[in-house]
Amino acid sequence: MTPSNAEGGATRDVVLVLDGDVEVVLWCMDGMADPDLRVVDALARLQLAARQVGGAIRLRNPCERLRALLDLVGLSSVFPDIVVDGADAPGGEGSAS
């Protein structure tokens, strides 16, 4: 799913191809400035599918609106490991830890 697919209302299938013992997929959210409940629904379904095969999805750089939507619908605990790059990251500027 790309931001234009999610925000434009078009639906597309997403296939994650995992090779080997991959347990976590980092889902980059850069560029999604105005996510809505369709995006939240799609992310929840992806997380469910990942967990069914023993994996997980982490969100990278989600905007505040997406974080608020996840909290509003009670799904913030489904995505507990949010990764933030840059000055907002714990540990200072440019840190990803």
Q: What is the 3-state secondary structure of 23-76?
A: CEEEEECCCCCCCCHHHHHHHHHHHHHHHHCCCEEEEECCCHHHHHHHHHCCCC
78 lies in some domain? yes
Does pLDDT of 12 surpass 90?
Answer: no
Mean per-residue pLDDT of the chain: 73
94 lies in some domain? no
The Cα 70–Cα 39 span in angstroms is: 10
Band (pLDDT 50/70/90 cuts) for residue 27 is confident
- Whether 89 contacts 96, CB under 8 Å: yes
Check: pTM over 0.85? Answer yes or no. no
55 lies in some domain? yes
Count of domains for the chain: 1
Query: What is the span of the domain harbouring residue 33?
Result: 3-8+23-83
Does pLDDT of 49 surpass 50?
Answer: yes
51 lies in some domain? yes
> What percentage of the chain has pLDDT greater than the value 70?
63
